[in-house]
Amino acid sequence: MSIKPLILLPDPVLRRQSDPIERVDDAVLALADDMLETMYDAPGIGLAAVQVGIPRRLLVVDCSREDEDQAPMVFINPQVVASSDERSTYEEGCLSIPDYYAEVERPMQVTVDYVDRLGKQQQIEADGLLATCLQHEIDHLNGILFIDHISKLKRDMVVKKFTKLAKGRSTAAL
């Protein structure tokens, strides 16, 4: 396993629609393991493959608390198939937009179809933090960032800030 470098805003790969995974093989499982290691190292509670520069429909999550054992979950080709009318609001952050947080309102409960590590079709009904995390990561697979759920004014300020930071990083590398 290895820690992968994270792709940061404003990198255009974050806006790319991720491609489906045709079959679960050793390469997909190795990528999932690398993503889990990267997520834990960051630290975060969710990570989509596109955030490590691989636009494939794969994500990992672990919403366990610090005082609990780790509970890693791998979702291949996940898709929200149902969501509640009831809404909840969480303060979200993103490993690809470091140190920026905003309140985002999403459906409180979701049903997600996905393929597991064994290549078996599964379905999970999630609520609370897990529901929010799954929606956030599935958004990544569709080229959507959590800042797309906040006001245009706030979003534009965040994008401008991270574009300026990226230009600073690229000139520092010269």
| Residues identified as active-site | 137
Show the tokens assigned to 155. Answer: 């979003």
Q: State the Cα–Cα distance between residues 110 and 83, nearest whole angstrom.
A: 4
Cα 159 from chain centroid? 18
| Residue located via tokens 């509670």 | 45
**What is the 3 state secondary structure string of 72-92?**
CEEEEEEEEEEECCCEEEEEE
Q: What is the DSSP letter of 67?
A: T
In what order do the strands lie in the sheet containing 46-48?
46-48, 58-61, 73-83, 109-115, 121-127
Show the tokens assigned to 48. Answer: 């989509």
Q: Name, in order, each residue with C-beta under 8 angstroms of 52's C-beta and a sequence gap of 6 or more.
A: 4, 5, 6, 7, 34, 35, 38
